Amino acid sequence: MSEKAVVIYSGGMDSYTVLHRALNAGYDVHALSFHYGQRHAKELDVAANVCRHLDLPHQVVDIRAIHGLIGASALTDERQAMPRADYAEDNMKATVVPNRNMILLSLAIGHAVNIEASVCFYGAHGGDHAIYPDCRPEFVQRMNDVAAIANYTPVDIRAPYLHASKTDILAEGLSMGLDYINSWTCYLGQDLACGECGSCRERLAAFAAHGMTDPLSYKARPEV
């Protein structure tokens, strides 16, 4: 029987690649998505569709009750303007959701223990380090230290793209034959990706670096 693994799966480009990396490694994958009060749930619908197609166990956990505790972010507060520029510390700090990955990892670790999974994957990547404290290598190491002692059964937290760029992640996904039409990256939940938020611009730049056109439809495709 294959070793079980929990994958925190947002429906975005990075977690979509992590999900398939875990599957290709032979894990019995259990996908876990969270609705924590983000401005839209479009990526959760994308995640659900992918898991249905792959016939994977998938749970969408509704933790919107915590929104009032961590809602001071452009990702969770519609009254705040969404930064529309390339990723940079001075403009993207507005998108930090306080303690988000610690909260999600804590729940995912509990789920892993409950189903006797030894591994929990999440999609932090190298481009996040300057902006998101809970995507830094030292955070992953400390969470691993805690996950080793928080339960009778230790859980190994793995962030396989912790030192990789978005371009690197796309390269691995393309090598696996992934179609990124099955992912959603835009911070806004409109019919078309905006093409202007930092997340869209980083994604478009990754495709451009490979001389490719992103299969998603965009409201605007800025020069990257």
Task: Output the known binding site for Zn(2+).
Answer: 186, 194, 197, 200
Token pair recorded at residue 213: 């056109």
Provide φ and ψ at 77, rounded to 5°.
Answer: -120, 110
Positions at the binding site: 9-19, 186, 194, 197, 200
Q: At what angle do helices 166-175 and 13-24 cross, to 10 degrees?
A: 40
> Which residue type does 8 have?
I
Strand ranges for 36-155 from DSSP E? 58-62, 119-121
Positions at the binding site for ATP: 9-19
Token pair recorded at residue 18: 């992590």
8 Å CB contact between 117 and 1: no
Q: In what order do the strands lie in the sheet with 119-121?
A: 58-62, 28-35, 4-8, 119-121, 156-158
Token pair recorded at residue 144: 């691993």
Nearest to 197 by CA among 119, 84, 90: 84
CA angle 189, 136, 141 (to 5 degrees): 125
Nearest to 194 by CA among 99, 84, 38: 84
8 Å CB contact between 84 and 74: no
